[in-house]
Structure 1
């Protein structure tokens, strides 16, 4: 559980520091676009009032989305607390919780999530922007799928058996 909380805190700090520096410090909220490494990386200011990819952004869902993020974070933390044995599941949970709470802070502070990272490649222009919290939520969700449940347990059990067989007797 401790590892989960440390990872969550690091994600929140990185996410909020990047937003403070880029959105406020570099004045992206006023400039709207800053080319960093054209055409691959640019900062595009986007205020996401909805869910992923701006879905439902026309509805005032701020408080509902804050509540959902807090409930999901609490459930994930409770889950990890009850089954703390898998290191990578704890890392994944920390990423998910830290990212969710980073976006909650945005919704409380700005009324919307501040998205600014835009990555394009190979002549394809990406119309979407995201942030560090979004990356962490995605990576955490994928990690929880990979490192929990029967598949995660089977991998952990297999490692324990291999490690036990390698010990000198």
Structure 2
């Protein structure tokens, strides 16, 4: 395994541990119930929601078959990203992949254990309608970093123009 591959796995592990530790605290220590809201500070609240879908409530999985298909798909994506990081050799890409993998695995753990994902971070007073969790945040940040990495690579891949800035053939 490459050094960047190890970094991606370490980041994924940190995300999974952080996600599950926070969910443990929310569910077992704080005992936040479905629909219960606790003000935290400013516009942020903790609101208990069980999400049978994927990030931000998309693709609701109310049937066991769909739940297991979502879990298998998430694991497949994590494995595919792990293989992909070995081929790129780019640090930002490795960080992004680690975040996405960790978030996907963190939510799979919930889906397998509970049949749904525990969501609780509520910023609805900021007109953000979704309730989410640490894993969703890692996935979102990871995808943003993947886009930045792709844009950086796209900029490097473009041919440089000749002196004066012309990039096409003379007519």
Give the TM-score normalised by structure 1. 0.81
Which position in structure 1 is the counterpart of 2:112? 108
* 2:67 corresponds to 1:62: yes
Do the aligned partners of residues 55 and 88 (structure 1) sit closer, same or farther apart at CA in structure 2, a change above 3 Å counting? closer
Q: Deviations over 1:118-145 (max 9, x none)?
A: 01445x4x44210010010111112112
Which position in structure 1 is the counterpart of 2:54? 51
Q: 2:45 aligns with which of 26, 32, 42?
A: 42
Alpha-carbon distance between aligned partners in 1 of 2:34 and 2:138, rounded to the nearest angstrom: 26
Q: Deviations over 1:66-103 (max 9, x none)?
A: 011011101100000122x2111100000000000000
Alpha-carbon distance between aligned partners in 2 of 1:153 and 1:81, rounded to the nearest angstrom: 19
* Structure 1 outlier segments of 4+, above 4 Å: 153-156
Secondary structure of the 1:4 match is helix
Q: Deviations over 1:29-70 (max 9, x none)?
A: 3672211114x1110001000123323426422101101101
| Number of corresponding residues | 151
Alpha-carbon distance between aligned partners in 1 of 2:102 and 2:39, rounded to the nearest angstrom: 28
Compare CA radii of gyration and give the structure with the larger one: 2
Q: 1:129 aligns with which of 122, 126, 131?
A: 131
CA contact (8 A) 2:34 2:47 kept: no
CA contact (8 A) 2:37 2:48 kept: yes
Alpha-carbon distance between aligned partners in 2 of 1:93 and 1:30, rounded to the nearest angstrom: 31
Runs of 5+ unmatched residues, structure 2: 158-171
Which position in structure 1 is the counterpart of 2:152? 151
Which position in structure 2 is the counterpart of 1:95? 99
Runs of 5+ unmatched residues, structure 1: 157-169
Alpha-carbon distance between aligned partners in 2 of 1:51 and 1:43, rounded to the nearest angstrom: 19
Cα RMSD for the two superposed structures: 2.1
